Amino acid sequence: MKASVRRSVGVVAAILMAGWITLAAAAQDKAGPANLDKLRIYVIDVEGGQSTLFVTPAGESLLVDTGWPGSNGRDADRIVAAAKKAGISKIDYVLLTHYHVDHAGGIPQLVDRIPVGTFIDHGPNRELDKGITEKDYALYQQALSTGKYKNIHPKPGDVLPVKGITATVISQDGNLIDKPLPGAGEANAYCKGAPTPPMDETENSRSLGIEINFGKLKLLDLGDLTKDKERQLMCPLNKLGHVDVYIVSHHGWEQSSSPVFVDAIHARVAIMDNGAKKGGSTPVLQTIKAAPGLETLWQLHYSEEGGPANNTAAEYIANPEGPDAGHSIELVAGKDGSFDVINSRTGVSRHYAAK
């Protein structure tokens, strides 16, 4: 090949490579570190447990729950992968909603894999079952006893010290906010005739729940808070008002997400962190899909219980039927209240304009 031809081929290759790099940059995941003025949220697949990572424009991170133990560190590895995707190398705050194994069991494996700054929890474990909950709580206390981590026990109404968002505590150790949030407090018409749920005595009802405000965006995550506590928040006055995004409580199990609660918060988007065989109860799927104002239900897994009639549309399910691949649901939000939700399996996103 003549030198001039080789030079021409080299120039063409360089142009093609530059174009490929440009296209790759343009196609970068919408929830990646390039969105420096956005709130980025990763709803991580921990197989019917909970783990949601928030990364603020200020560069601080909040992880809500750590998923399960065991499985060769599967859940901790998925959390670390999400952190890497977000461009962070440590987690500033880990909030434990409560001490059940699918929420707090992954602590030892997580802290072995990534630095953590501060743990936030509701206070002492109240479920003295002489079983797995007490064991996981003891392992958590063992991690705290090393002195490597700060520890915060907030109360309802407190604002967490996470820079870049306003995260207000709604529920804690069975206690709830005693007055409506700003803009809330209207009478809840859905209370009339609604049954009074029995009192829950497990760790679920003690969940540390928060509402996150990012500009005009409102997101609600109450962990596994149960129907009895939902009613206290909603009747006779709706203390929460409307939200944009609802991280569905209790993985979509029917101990939570009562109609008196779901209908009143009027969420535009619900994200259910269910597993194929855990959560995604048919009554909850039906309640959420019929809720006033709902535009889309997104699910981490296809619910085998729900079946074709009750699951959301296939494009809004991160992990369809079949072997699990650990796909997540991601959300990128602007302060104007607009946001995009992305299915990491397909790369397909849906935009929700500011209202």
pLDDT at position 323 is 85
Kindly report which listed range (9-18, 101-110, 185-194, 237-246) carries the lowest average pLDDT score: 9-18
Q: Which two tokens stand for residue 122?
A: 């509701």
The yes-or-no verdict on residue 105 having pLDDT over 80 is yes
pLDDT at position 33 is 56
* Per-residue pLDDT band at 11 (split at 50, 70, 90): very low
- The model's pLDDT over 85-97, given as tens digits with 9 standing for 90+, comes to 999 999 999 999 9
H helix or E strand, kind and range, residue 350: strand 349-352
Q: What is the CATH number of the domain that holds 129?
A: 3.60.15.10
CB-CB contact of 84 with 108 (8 Å):
no
Q: Residues 16, 90: one domain?
A: no
- The model's pLDDT over 61-83, given as tens digits with 9 standing for 90+, comes to 999 999 999 999 999 999 999 99
Q: Residues 56, 8: one domain?
A: no
CA-based radius of gyration for the chain: 21
Nearest-angstrom CA–CA distance, 337 and 315: 23
Instruction: Label the pairing between strands 209-214 and 217-221.
Output: antiparallel
The yes-or-no verdict on residue 206 having pLDDT over 60 is yes
Q: Residues 89, 25: one domain?
A: no
Give the mean model confidence (pLDDT) for residues 321-342: 95
Q: Residues 224, 338: one domain?
A: yes
The yes-or-no verdict on residue 5 having pLDDT over 60 is no
Q: Dihedral (C-alpha) 196, 197, 198, 201: value to the nearest 10 degrees?
A: -130
The yes-or-no verdict on residue 34 having pLDDT over 60 is no
* Per-residue pLDDT band at 334 (split at 50, 70, 90): very high
Q: Residues 116, 234: one domain?
A: yes
Percent of the chain exceeding pLDDT 90 equals: 86
pLDDT at position 130 is 78
DSSP string, 278-330: SS--HHHHHHHHTSTT--EEEEEE--TTTHHHHS--GGGEEE-SSS-----EE
DSSP string, 77-90: HHHHHHHHHHT-SS
The yes-or-no verdict on residue 124 having pLDDT over 90 is yes
pLDDT at position 125 is 96
Look up tokens 């697949």; give the residue.
45
Give the mean model confidence (pLDDT) for residues 270-285: 97
Kindly report which listed range (123-132, 212-221, 288-297, 344-353) carries the lowest average pLDDT score: 123-132
Q: Residues 79, 93: one domain?
A: yes
Q: Residues 240, 319: one domain?
A: yes
Q: Specify the number of domains making up the chain.
A: 2
Instruction: Label the pairing between strands 296-301 and 317-319.
Output: parallel
Q: Residues 26, 37: one domain?
A: no
pLDDT at position 217 is 98
pTM score above 0.85: yes
Supply the range of the domain harboring residue 55: 32-352
